Amino acid sequence: MGMKGLLLLSVALAGAAGAWADNCGVPSGAAPLSDGMWQQWHNRLSAQIQQQDSPDGGIDLLFYGDSLTELWRGTAWGYNSRLGGGIPAVFSRYFGQYRSVICGSGGDTTANLWWRMQNGELPRNHQPKLAVVMIGANDLTAAYVQCGTWNSSSYYNAAASIAQQVSGIVGTIHASWPGTRVIVMGILPRGTSYWDGGSASRTWPNVLTPAINALNNALQQMAASTSMTSYLYCGAAFSSGSGLSNLQDGQHPNVTGYESLGQCLQPLGTVEAAAAMEEGQMAAAAATVETEEIVITAVGAIAGTIMTIIIVEDRGVPGDREGPVVQEARGAPADRGVLAGRMVGTRAETASTREKLVLNEEAVWC
């Protein structure tokens, strides 16, 4: 185990003392880390949020999480990280045009992030448009280390407890800003190098795979049942049948991995392009489809969210349900995001109801 990995895991296990449940060490409730450097970093993040949230300011995007989120800054607790080279440039390319704050803190569990939100890391003056939450990996690691016996009952119970913690985090955001859309991100594939000496840093599937799957299923179900909340999984770029990829140490993405995350989140980065899409442009786009059947997909069309994307799909020969689907996107990659609002019909039918679909409050990106 590397010294930094040992430190962060030790802090994560010890820092939430008093907040641990009996469920394999999954934290319950909100608690700070008992580390002065962590507290200083929290104070700096709180000050940045309040500065950008000045009466004449505001924040478009908030990114909450642990070290995977903090590495968007290229730092660990505010200090330059050896893992962070080139990553801030990726963030700037995808999200630099927006007023955003990256509220990541290395080693955080759900309890630590929840406490940070309750103690200054939420805006006070202006409602953020969107908050991205990626948390729970360290909870799962701690649960595995502490549980002793790691079977299906153990990891399913741990997954349910972690999802409940994330639900509390989302609730804290909405208690202050009920109109903020929250994106809960699934846990990425990861190795087990922090406690096995590195021998399994690239192995996938591994002992954590069923637990990660269980947690992501629980997060998806939680998001589906929570207002103004959606689930997004961006892990496909990090695993294959032959092992893990695009990870520096089996845990943290490399620059290519963060490029994949930026692309997966790309619908968040297309406000101007989406706003420029006038009805005449969309009518022209629909007219270029040379088949009688098209699919119009509205992504993030609710008023108050930060983007409106239309994807036009050409299904090829009319009536051919087995043929390839060709997607043309205006403002976002056609293979990103989860279908949220869809209508299938003839060109005339879709043209007559397109405006209703795009403005439908239920047709939101998820």
By the 10 Å C-beta count (0-12 exposed, 13-18 middle, 19+ buried), 141 is classed as buried
Chunked into runs of 10 residues, the chain (366 residues) has average pLDDT values of 34 37 76 96 97 88 97 96 96 92 97 98 94 95 78 84 97 96 95 60 85 94 93 92 87 95 75 32 36 33 33 44 40 33 36 34 28
CA distances for 211 relative to 4, 139, 189, 197, 228, angstroms: 24, 11, 10, 21, 26
pLDDT of residue 115: 98
pLDDT of residue 36: 95
Sign of torsion over alpha carbons 253, 257, 261, 264: negative
pLDDT of residue 331: 36
pLDDT of residue 351: 37
pTM, whole model, 2 decimals? 0.71
CA diameter of the chain: 65
The residue length of the chain stands at: 366
pLDDT of residue 348: 36
pLDDT of residue 78: 96
Please report the domains of the chain, with CATH numbers, ordered by start residue. Answer: 3-264 (3.40.50.1110), 273-359 (no CATH)
Half-sphere exposure of 74 (CA within 13 A, CB side): 11
Q: Measure the CA–CA gap between 101 and 109, rounded to whole angstroms.
A: 19
Q: Are 56 and 241 in contact (CB under 8 A)?
A: no
Q: Measure the CA–CA gap between 49 and 111, rounded to whole angstroms.
A: 20
pLDDT of residue 338: 32
